[in-house]
Structure 1
Amino acid sequence: MSAAPETAPETWASRWQGPGGYREALTVGAPLMVSMGSMTLMQFTDRVFLGRHSVAEIAASVPAGITSFLFLGFFMGVASCVSVLVAQYAGACRPERVGPALWQGVWFSLAAAAVLAGLAFLGGPLFAWAGHPEQVRALEADYFFILTLGGGFMILSTTLSSYFSGLEKTVPVMLVNLAGAALNIPLDYALIFGKWGAPELGIHGAALATVAGSAFTCLLFIALILRSPEARARHKIAALPRPDREMLARLLRIGLPAGVQFFLDILALTGFSLLVGRLGMVELSATNIAFSINSLTYLPVIGLSIAASILVGRSQGQKRPDIAQRATGNILRLSLAWMWAVGLIFVLLPGPLLDLFETTPGLAQLPGDPAFADIREAGVVLLRYVALYSLIDGVSIVYFGALKGAGDTRFVMLTMLAASVGVLILPVWLLVETGTGGLHGPWLCLTAYIAALALSFALRFRSGTWRRIQVIEDTPRAKDRACP
């Protein structure tokens, strides 16, 4: 019996073509990168404006924003798994199941909005416990309240966008998010500084602009879905179904671990930010600015991670794990190329990036605001850490997306739990409490945390365990019936 011929290694040219190739990865992923880039731009502009209004407001915005996102993140993690169900049903040629999958996400989003409205009142006690400087606590609590109270719009927007991304229609997602950014940025400017006849609200205005942008994107997604002939005819979106227990159970089975994972990841970063805040205003402000600049790196790569989830989910629905593996490898290479380029900018040009956050002379300053020169000096050092762990973070983010698309969310959740507690929060708490390591100690722990996640997710994906996970009900092989 003759041996099977060896498969030649793929070249750049061969990786471009075919299912899971660079072309397909970029077709799906590039609009998502732009979409996430628009979110980055909104957050970045928001913090630049706040930094120019008051150092205390930029110091308050990141911990409060991350803490609010901590609660939103759990619900967003669940809602984002609508895209996994949609992609797998589309891959299995079962369009009639796409509509019910979306509707369960909508019902979940409405319930999440009610819960978030109750959680919005927790900001005051949380920031009092954190022990931050007194001049920023009230600002943190107010910013948290507005963002969390209006967080239901962001959850619903995540669900609705997941319908389009699961069908690999990522251009509408990009356009809607760009429209939201186009509204949010001028609203930020007007409401923070009191321009164009608007009141000067400072950090309150920034929060209101963010909520308004999320509500606007929801309206645009709803309009697009209701006007889509495919959504009405093939996916039965126009009918208002009752909650489907079986479909809701499928969403929660993969979504709850994903939501907990998202919660744990944000909790780890929130705890990190809160603990660093105990070191002083300079350390807190420099860390918050470094995180804001870091978002320029990782949020576009999250777009590629979503593309990995979509392509892996579709391939699993088609029962083609080989294509899923190929797509993941190609998306990983694209991610690393992006991370390397942006990380190089952080090393070579840290000063101009940090200078964007310098408070405009003569604008509101509170007693105890530190000199920007001190913040800038610390920020240059921290951007070197960001450049160091950016490549590692690219590996973690892409493999996370691939495992999520296959439904392997429980492993991701457990890994995140172990790493966030054992590698980040407890060591940073110990360093801060003992006064060991200064600002370097916590940031070295953050780098180790990202490396632990990257290694764990990479080994899990390469083990192939995800190939045997079944997310949707078993159906005849997709080739047994045509996909129109």
Structure 2
Amino acid sequence: MLSRLKRRWKEPFGYRDVLNVGLPLVVSLGSTTAMEFTDRIFLSNYSLISIAAALPAAMVNLVFLLFAMGISAYSSVFIAQYYGACKYEKIGSVVWQAIYFCCIAWVLLASLALVAEPFFAFVGHAPEVQREEVVYFSILTVGSGCALVANAIGCFFTGLGKTRPNMVVNVIAVIINIPLDYMLINGVWFFPEMGIAGAGLATVSSWAMQIVMYAMLVFTRKNDTVYNVIRAWRFNKNLFLRMMRYGIPSGLNNFFDVFAFTMFIMVIGRLGEVELAASNIVLSINSLAFLPVVGLNIAASILVGQAMGRKDVGQATVAAHSVLHVALLWMGTFGAIFILFPYELTSLFKPADISAEQFANIQSMCQILLAYVALFCIQDAIALVFFGSLKGAGDTMYVMWAIAICATLGLGVPMFIGRFVFDAGLHVLWGMLIAYVCTLALAAYLRFRGGKWQHIQMIEQEPSSC
């Protein structure tokens, strides 16, 4: 057993390569998680209404942001395949097509602020929660283009598998965001007290700084000499349309997945403020485990993409299973932490405007919900890694349809029927969420095992430059 682990560590696309590519991405996503986690701690300490409003508003923004980001971020898979095929001169043009798409998407995202008020009125949360949801959502949507463009430029490093710059940029963004968040929410130093609006402005400010940092790192003479990152700035219609062909299904699978979770939060919110606050706290804690594994999902896409660029299916399979082993270890550890330390985790979220007795009721509810989360941690890891591997091979249409069908028929329809026809309560709704995640894991595993992804041709069939 030990010799087998050592061999898997050293071989190409083994554990060492997974950690070289994936660990900086885990830290990057962990930094983003830490930023959002800290935001919610500040907001929960500021007001129960603010923490009740923050997650629904952020999730609705994410539905649209991650749809656009899923399209632009798929450029990293094109870069990975070109890099694996040693066609370095084509990489710069990929980066620019992603930026052009992001500029179009930015305008569309910002326009969503115009419909924020009627949308959250339709959702039907308490009026005081609605007001804060509208404010937070509007700021995030107007500023989301900064996150899009920064991510598109950062995909240059992700696709090459040189992910340490992504880690550095994200850590610096957290260092900027956390103190700014604290000052803008609470009115510290010369800043006015802005509450949830301050949290939104702090987040957008950190996204803007990411653009500046990534631009300084990517658009250099050295990178231009090898990858044409400056000279290939022109719009390339054929490449752009090919990126859309594979990227739009990737964006849609993000849309359906986040949409399902967003509708889950909205339906839970109709049960009452306590149920909504407890669910928001638990999902915020779960993000500590979940979002870093999204980094491993990206690592699976990149490593499988590089292997498929070389037309090496064997190495692609090794890469997928190596990433899976790391993801299972990570999620299994956090599942145990959720069960063993529920009160220690939830105590970080005590609002200043409620009594200890009131928060004790929320904590007891959180303890049960954290046990539910622990139940689907492993299934989450399986779904993320195998779907990421399929996307790395270009099998984005299957991923899109699998998530769309599971999100609609496996969670959305049963949830609405259960709640609004049969008056299902909190625990039944959470049971539906667990079933949804397990179904996703099965759909991802069976498709990868079936092997159809091995025959997809994404990039031009030209002789390799290697």
> Shorter-normalised TM-score: what interval?
over 0.9
Q: Distance in 1 between matches of 2:409 and 2:422?
A: 19
1:208 correspondence with 2:198 = no
Q: Distance in 2 between matches of 1:157 and 1:401?
A: 21
Aligned to 1:71, what secondary structure does the other structure show?
Answer: helix
Residue 304 of structure 1 is matched in structure 2 by 296
Residue 394 of structure 1 is matched in structure 2 by 381
Residue 46 of structure 1 is matched in structure 2 by 39
1:345 correspondence with 2:337 = yes
1:246 correspondence with 2:238 = yes
Q: Runs of 5+ in structure 2 lacking a partner?
A: none
1:373 correspondence with 2:369 = no
The answer on whether the counterparts of 1:166 and 1:310 sit within 8 Å (CA) in structure 2 is yes
1:35 correspondence with 2:28 = yes
Shift of 1:436: 3.9
TM-score, reference length from structure 2: 0.98
TM-score, reference length from structure 1: 0.94
Shift of 1:369: 13
Q: Distance in 1 between matches of 2:143 and 2:394?
A: 29
The answer on whether the counterparts of 2:13 and 2:322 sit within 8 Å (CA) in structure 1 is yes
Q: Which of 255, 262, 273 in structure 1 is aligned with 2:265?
A: 273
Please tell me the residue identity of whatever aligns with 1:248.
F
Q: Distance in 1 between matches of 2:205 and 2:276?
A: 28
1:259 correspondence with 2:246 = no
Q: Distance in 2 between matches of 1:255 and 1:266?
A: 17
Please tell me the residue identity of whatever aligns with 1:145.
S
- The C-alpha deviation readout for 1:309-331, integer Å capped at 9, x for no partner, is 10000000000011010011011
RMSD across aligned C-alpha pairs, in angstroms? 1.7
The answer on whether the counterparts of 1:279 and 1:432 sit within 8 Å (CA) in structure 2 is no
- The C-alpha deviation readout for 1:208-227, integer Å capped at 9, x for no partner, is 00000101011100011123
Residue 438 of structure 2 is matched in structure 1 by 451
- The C-alpha deviation readout for 1:340-393, integer Å capped at 9, x for no partner, is 1111010000001111000125xxx7xx99932221121111100111101110
* 1:428-467 alignment runs, 5 A limit: 428-434=415-421, 436-467=423-454
Residue 89 of structure 1 is matched in structure 2 by 82
Poorly superposed stretches of 4+, deviation over 6 Å:
none
Q: Which of 93, 97, 102 in structure 1 is aligned with 2:95?
A: 102
Q: Distance in 1 between matches of 2:317 and 2:363?
A: 43
Shift of 1:19: 1.1
Please tell me the residue identity of whatever aligns with 1:447.
I
Residue 142 of structure 1 is matched in structure 2 by 135
Shift of 1:9: 12
* 1:6-21 alignment runs, 5 A limit: 11-21=4-14
Q: Distance in 2 between matches of 1:157 and 1:394?
A: 26
Q: Runs of 5+ in structure 1 lacking a partner?
A: 1-7
Please tell me the residue identity of whatever aligns with 2:335.
G
Shift of 1:10: 7.8
Residue 167 of structure 1 is matched in structure 2 by 160
Residue 399 of structure 2 is matched in structure 1 by 412
More helix by share: 2
Please tell me the residue identity of whatever aligns with 1:244.
N
1:472 correspondence with 2:449 = no
1:318 correspondence with 2:292 = no
Shift of 1:242: 2.4
Identity rate, percent: 42
The answer on whether the counterparts of 1:143 and 1:204 sit within 8 Å (CA) in structure 2 is yes
The answer on whether the counterparts of 2:93 and 2:232 sit within 8 Å (CA) in structure 1 is no
Q: Distance in 2 between matches of 1:369 and 1:120?
A: 37
Residue 198 of structure 1 is matched in structure 2 by 191
1:284 correspondence with 2:276 = yes
Q: Distance in 2 between matches of 1:31 and 1:418?
A: 33
Residue 3 of structure 1 is matched in structure 2 by none
The answer on whether the counterparts of 1:281 and 1:369 sit within 8 Å (CA) in structure 2 is no
The answer on whether the counterparts of 2:93 and 2:234 sit within 8 Å (CA) in structure 1 is no
Aligned to 1:150, what secondary structure does the other structure show?
Answer: helix
Q: Distance in 2 between matches of 1:317 and 1:140?
A: 44
Please tell me the residue identity of whatever aligns with 1:131.
G
- The C-alpha deviation readout for 1:43-65, integer Å capped at 9, x for no partner, is 10000000000000000000000
The answer on whether the counterparts of 1:424 and 1:449 sit within 8 Å (CA) in structure 2 is yes
Q: Distance in 2 between matches of 1:54 and 1:191?
A: 14
1:58 correspondence with 2:45 = no
